[in-house]
Amino acid sequence: MSAPSDTGPIGLAQEAWFRLVGEVASSIGTDGFHQKLVELFGATIPHSASWIIRYSRVAPPDVIYTANVPRDVVDFYVAECAPLDPFSAHWRLNEEPGVRTLASFAPKAGAAIDPRPYSRLFKPAAEIEDELGMFFSTVGHSSLGLFLERVEGRFTAAEVRQAKLVFPVLDGFHKTHIGRIFDRLRFAGDANESELVSRPTLVRDRTGLEIFANASWRDAVAADPSIGEAVASVVDERAVQLADHTLKVERFDQYFPLAPSGTMFVLTERADAPVSAALGPELLTRKEREIFDLVMAGSTTGSIAQALSISKGMVKKYRLQIYRKTGVASERALVQKFSGLSPGVA
């Protein structure tokens, strides 16, 4: 790991800070936006290196940018550490935007996330002591994480408070950037289609007006009219099971630029039978099997609670029971262990 830059952090009220803010604002909608965003994040907090990682509920962490990180460290993270990443596990369990440090994942009895395997492998390889992460929601229940790393010492409580202070500013830029991308898709069609909407996707505003639909969505609806009927009947975020697809539903918040308080619909291929059917009748209770299948389908804690008419706290309790009975420590590990399982396979 290279030594940190000789230039010290800048203050939030200094001219240099506002210059960086202007650079971020000017880069909205461009390929270099998130690089500018992580530079702004790190401008006020001393650090040794930085990363940008995309987290998903159904795919491994995807490293999309690093600064001052050796290539072999990135390769080691992808090959050995990504499945153990506690930040990824935290997003899968909680989908919680905001600020968090690696040191905050203190191992304790009954905790759903154990950071020790990751720390034992990654910290010596990267020659770091702590990581400070800032998480932004994207679409499809995914997250973009900006990370600062420190060679010596942990990030202090004051530095974490400062990161939380600037988070709303950076989050606002991030939401505007995603809105700009969707606006471009809206007027340019699929010519510039982003990886954010590579699956069959429909976006409607809060009145039900179509804002965006990619070619794969239109092809799917043309082949299966029941998809359009399902969209018309949706009243909440519960996933809808169709003959050949699962229709996933996500509500945007009131500040999402393209469709404030709008709705996104995404189609995924439907399995022939619930994954839980392959676990045997004795391993999980009926309620645990229901929740297991919803988790494997990518449903959030909130949507599971709505679908089963139980509290989010009860869903989390069932999740922990499922992890214990299936021998895993996180939702990520659960998905990795059973994603290829088919009914009748032990």
Residues 199, 64: Cα–Cα separation, whole Å: 20
What proportions of the chain, in percent to the nearest 5, are helix, strand and coil? 45, 15, 35
- Listed in sequence order, the residues at least 6 apart from 97 whose beta carbon sits closer than 8 Å to its beta carbon are 135, 136, 137, 143, 171
Per-residue pLDDT of 313-342, as tens digits, reads 889 889 998 888 888 888 878 877 776 554
Contact 120, 22 (CB under 8 A): no
pTM for the full predicted model: 0.62
CB atoms within 10 A of CB 315: 22
Whether residue 260 has pLDDT greater than 80: no
Q: What percent of the chain has pLDDT over 70?
A: 83
- Listed in sequence order, the residues at least 6 apart from 156 whose beta carbon sits closer than 8 Å to its beta carbon are none
Delineate the domains of the chain, giving CATH numbers in brackets.
15-184 (3.30.450.80), 199-269 (3.40.1840), 275-338 (1.10.10.10)
Main-chain phi, psi angles of 307, to 5 degrees: -65, -35
Contact 257, 175 (CB under 8 A): yes
Per-residue pLDDT of 268-284, as tens digits, reads 876 555 666 666 666 78
Per-residue pLDDT of 45-85, as tens digits, reads 999 999 999 887 767 888 989 999 999 999 999 999 999 99
